[in-house]
Amino acid sequence: MSSNPVILITGANTGLGFETVRSLCQSPKAYTIIIGGRSIDKANAAAKKAQTEFPESPSVLKTVQVDIEDDKSITQAFEYVSTEYGRVDVLVNNAGGLFDRQLASGNMTMRELWDKSWSVNTTGTQIFTHTFVPLLLKSSDPRLLFIASGTSTLEGSEDTVLPMNISPPKGWPKEPSSFGFGAYRSSKSGMNMMMREWTRILKEDGVKVWAISPGFLATGLGGNPDMNKKMGAEDPTLGAKFVRDVIEGARDDQVGKVVRRAVSNDPLLAHNRPMIAIRMASKIVDMSNFTSKFRAQKIGSHESTTRVTKRPRLVCNQCQKSKLRCDRGQPCGSCIKKDEAAACTYQRPTGTRTDINHNVMAEDKLLHLESLVKQLMQNQALPLSGNDTISTNTASPHERISGLTETVDGPRGEQLESARYIGSTHWSAILEDIHELKVTLGGRLDVDKYTGTSIYQSPAPSGELIFGSSNDFSLQHILSEYLPPKVEADRLLSTYFQGETYIIPFLHTYHFQRQYRKFWDGPTSVNPLWLSILFSVCYIASLIRGATTNSPHRSDNNLILGHSIFLTAAGKCLVLGEYHRPQQFTVEALALYAHCKNMRSLDPSRETGAILGMVVRMAYEMGYHRDPDYFGSFTVFEGEMRRRFWAACKQMDLMISFQLGLPSNIVIDHCDTRSPRNLLDSDFDEESETLPASRSEEATKLLWFIVKERQIPSFSKVCKNALSFNKMSEAEIMQLDNEIWEMYATIPDVLRTRPISDSIADPPFLIMTRLYIDFIHLKSLCVLHREYMARGNAFSTKSCVDAGEKLVSQFIDMYKEFSIGGQLYAERWMLTNFTMHDFLLGVMVLCLVLHTRWKRDAQSSEIDIATESRILTLLEQSHTICVEKSKESRDTLRVSHAVRLTLNRAKTPNAPRDNASEAPRADTIAASNFPTSVSDTPQLHPEHDSSSPWNGYIHSDESNFGMLDPFNFISNVDNMDWSVFDPPI
């Protein structure tokens, strides 16, 4: 029996069915996908093809022979699935056929056509579904999908813009092509009603049922895929992605309905909507020139009212030439049948010379417009060229920059700081759940009085270089001023590429080195954007080399600032190369520059967030969000490097947005770029004609990056929920929690965290990457459950305690090894603001855990005295680290105060309360007698079974725990009176 959800798809060896299999293989979720096909050989071939294409997919592919027109075949398939898997979680009725063209070609009689259409699309689907329902009912979340058609709606049949809805000329008999797709459309309409019946029948059994209209896709259904493309059909991967979304719950609010994918070209149409609109406009222009005998004529008109206008010919030129009956479609059915759709044209109407001139002129303009639209659609992803920016500011570049700097960093900048929006993924949002700290942090802050440490000082204001102008420097100036001697540059690149540390995935070792050698052959002819990449690499290499050879008396902050010359040069090269235009090296250079900027501080970088926003927007414009197999014309090497870049871009965007408490710029549902393969740079290069198979779970320098890429979808959902005003239901929270743990189970053993004492033989970088991956898992749990723990939920409390303790304890162990002589001393530069933010988040979660316990008596609290003792020990160690890093990080300074208050609260017998002005006295921790809170509050859902992890979900004081106001936390930390809450000890 499979522990993964079992998905059975009929007709899955080709067309939309196979694309759905491919889409599910790209999902981070693990499925058992059963490919159903009339031919078992073709089903096995499809499974092998998908497995080869997605070797790292967590899903398992199986096959079964089934012909939905053969009852015996259906029964045998049922017995096989029942024996092997015991259930079906998702049943996708995809098998179907369009046979209407067989009538026009003479291969079928009308009875054969209609019998066949209903047998496959309706009757066979009904019998197959009826047979497999018992297996569906054994699922905990059964889903039943019918692949419908946008052509099958009654409302759509009234749209006469569609060629298939145009009435043929009067007379009998009609041409076979006049009957269009009647058999197919009616059988699919029958399927829609069949879906409604199954919705009614299985409603009380909890089965979710849909009919899915994926849009007009370029599959082999009923004809030639290439011809369908000419008619406006879209890539079938888009429809498959839509089916997968329904399977994974995106349309659970539309159960029992025909759900239709929103597309730019209406799926009802066998043409592109813009083209039809243009052709309709052409008809309107022609009609405006017609004169009816009932229309009033202008006085003085010399035009005869009895003039007879010759009726325009309504037959296309090809049908006229072949003497065939034309259905007046554009293109008509006869031309489609003969594969001559491109040659289907109509004669212009005749009339007076003036009428003809007007009509020809209008039609020519419309045809020109149509050609422009087609050209735009074909070339929409090509990069723009030229500089279309027009400036109306006559001030000099220096005047504009300096004026901006004064405005942002002066009083106005302080006002913006106090009003800054930060969502609930930021560590400080947890203070909203700790009412004691939130109320206390309202006065004036006198740090030196209690800590004896110096207050964090912001860096001196300086304008961001890349937002300036290149008028003050040239390429020659940059080369002479910033480029180190070749020997020194060689050493820096050697440090970067030959070291054990893997850093940037989208720089190919051998490809970049060839570019580097070519650069030294003629430095003055270099592309400034590529030169920016070189300077950024030098900056990173200087940090690595400095960390391994740096004097212990020199601070890490000085180490970073000491190599800023390379970063300055990289910024100037970006400006000189006009980074704002989509072109070669633009997004790579800008993303690498943002990465370097982010390494300069332990606090989240707003500059990096702004720059990365430009990177994302430009990458979208250049099509990086589309997989190279479906978009553009790229070599194997270029395609894989684009996948690496987009994966890095997604990770940076999500992590930086998470730090800043803001929504990410990238919407994962809008992307179909596949994850890169686990390959060494030596495995492929520019000359590669085919991409080698992935190295599976082999511990390469890229493996941790790929595993991190797998974690992005679930982590993105957690962030989206945390920032959303529409909170998830209990079932949805549990589902996402399960998804997080399922993803954790796919992490290879080599990247699983273990005590540092057990990693003495492991490379330092491997230790760090293990922690990076584990921190994503742990902070996902913390952010997902934090709000519900604050409300008193037992399951969320345990999840937060376990994740918070593990995250903080692992960071403490890691931090100890950063000291001189430690196992990670040479890698201490890898303590980035990403890792520091995760640590602060974990610390604040532990503070919340204690305050949650203190609001309830010890008997009713889910947090026992042993857990509290462990957390206090971790917080004491964390406070020491925060104090040490407070000179380098403003956030760390602020968290150190919150931790100190929490520790003092635990030691103080008479501490203030959240819940009442006359709170009872709290004894010391040793006595374990904590204040009573809302222990008798009724449960949110008392009808839930007691075994449910969500039983005991308590309505606590919403003013203290439930209301998250992202605009109101420690916004004025420098003016707070900590002594109000923290009496001198």
Catalytic residue among 184, 346, 539, 815: 184
593 is catalytic: no
The answer to whether residues 603 and 651 touch, using CB atoms and an 8 Å cutoff, is no
N-to-C CA span, the chain:
62
Of the candidates 932, 931, 913, 915, the residue with the CA atom closest to the CA atom of residue 923: 931
**Is 149 one of the catalytic residues?**
yes
Sign of CA dihedral 390, 396, 401, 404: negative
Could you tell me if 509 and 702 are in contact, meaning their C-beta atoms sit under 8 angstroms apart? no
**In one letter, which amino acid is 12?**
A
Measured between alpha carbons, how far is 876 from 879 in angstroms, rounded to an integer?
A: 5
Task: Identify which of 916, 864, 804, 951 has the alpha carbon closest to the alpha carbon of residue 430.
Answer: 804
**Residue 936 in 3-state DSSP?**
coil
Helix, strand or coil for residue 90?
A: strand
Q: Please say whether the beta carbons of 953 and 734 come within 8 A.
A: no
Question: Phi then psi for 977, rounded to 5 degrees?
Answer: -100, 90
* Distance in angstroms (rounded) separating the CA atoms of residues 349 and 38: 52
Give the pair of three-digit tokens for residue 967.
Answer: 């605009």
Cis peptide before 931 (omega within 30 of 0): no
The residues near 584 (Cβ < 8 Å, ≥ 6 apart) are 527, 529
Residue type, 556: D
The secondary structure of 323-378, three-state, reads CCCCCCCCCCHHHHHCCCHHHCCECCCCCCHHHHHHHHHHHHHHHHHHHHHHHHHH
Helix%, strand%, coil% for the chain, nearest 5 = 55, 5, 40
Beta bridge partners of 977: 444
From 188, 650, 701, 855, active-site residue: 188
> Residue 806 is encoded by which pair of tokens?
């593990």
CA atoms within 13 A on the CB side of 359: 18
304 is known as an active-site residue:
no
Q: Which two tokens stand for residue 237?
A: 């991967």
Closest among 59, 64, 67 to 2, alpha carbons compared: 59
Q: How does DSSP classify residue 673?
A: P
Beta-bridge partner residues of 211: 146, 258
Rounded Cα distance, 878 and 155, in Å: 65
Phi, psi at residue 548, to the nearest 5°?
Answer: -85, -20
CB atoms within 10 A of CB 802: 15
The single residue of 149, 536, 694, 714 carrying the catalytic annotation is 149
Pairing of strands 60-65, 32-37: parallel
Question: In 3-state terms, what secondary structure has residue 879?
Answer: helix
Structure token pair of residue 924:
């010391």
Q: Measured on CA atoms in the order 389, 390, 392, 395, is the torsion positive or negative? A: positive
Report DSSP state, residue 120.
I
**Catalytic annotation, residues:** 149, 184, 188
